[in-house]
Amino acid sequence: MKIHVRGDNHLDVTPALKDYLEKKLSRIDRYFDAPASQEVTVTMSVTRGIHAVEAMIPLGHVMLRAEERSGDMYASIDMVMDKLEKQLDKYKHKIGQKIGHRLKVEGGRAKVQPVLTSSVAPMEADEDFPLVRVKQFDMKPMHVSEAILQMDLLGHDFFVFANAETDQTSVVYRRRDGQYGLIQPQ
């Protein structure tokens, strides 16, 4: 498994932290048919005594992401790994049959086990994701500051709008730290 670890907010990732992270990430090797080629990006940061860990695993058309915060970096790593393991298990069971199988021998009996690859086929539109509401609205071109104001007035955590500066659809969102983010297409 290729692990990319970086520290934000001037955090130096110590060898002990990196070793602990690698040990914990080895738990999820069993979910992949070629663990050595799988990439994981982990970002660690400390802000006002809160230790945050974010991990992302690209799986073809899907990006698994987990983020946790606590008073201890090792506890944050443990919680992120638990969250990632649950996501991988759920993902494996939902579409595991479509993306491949691994033959596993246990107690002299052969058992077929679904595995994850990084070249995942897109899921069918009607599979286990019931659409409960569709919203349509006119998107008038506006500046980012106007979109943030509109989002705050609506009381939402994100707002989709037509960006007047780029003539593209963009999204503004409220971050956990109370600041704002902008998502734009490339």
In DSSP notation, 2-42 reads: EEEEEESTT----HHHHHHHHHHHGGGGGGBSSGGG-EEEE
Six-digit token pair at 78? 């443990």
Summarize the confidence of residues 136-161 as an average pLDDT.
Answer: 84
Alpha-carbon gap, residue 26 to 37, rounded angstroms: 13
Q: How far is CA 21 from the centre of its chain?
A: 17
Using 50, 70 and 90 to split pLDDT, how confident is the model at 107?
very low
Whole-model pTM: value is 0.56
Using 50, 70 and 90 to split pLDDT, how confident is the model at 126?
low
Per-residue model confidence (pLDDT) at position 131: 75
Interacting residues of 99 by C-beta distance below 8 A, sequence separation 6+: 114, 115, 116, 117, 120, 121
Alpha-carbon gap, residue 153 to 47, rounded angstroms: 29
Q: Across-strand partners of 3?
A: 40
Confirm if 41 and 63 have CB atoms less than 8 A apart: no
Alpha-carbon gap, residue 71 to 75, rounded angstroms: 8
Using 50, 70 and 90 to split pLDDT, how confident is the model at 163?
very high
Per-residue model confidence (pLDDT) at position 96: 53
Q: Give the H/E segment covering residue 84.
A: helix 73-99
Alpha-carbon gap, residue 127 to 62, rounded angstroms: 15
Of 25-34, 129-138, 144-153, highest mean pLDDT: 144-153
| Domains of the chain: residue spans and CATH | 2-99 (3.30.160.100), 141-183 (3.30.505.50)
Summarize the confidence of residues 61-82 as an average pLDDT.
Answer: 88
Describe the strand order of the beta sheet including 39-47 as a list of residue ranges.
Answer: 2-7, 39-47, 50-59, 62-70
Question: For residue 122, which phi and psi values (nearest 5 degrees)?
Answer: -65, 145
Q: Is the pLDDT of residue 137 over 60?
A: yes
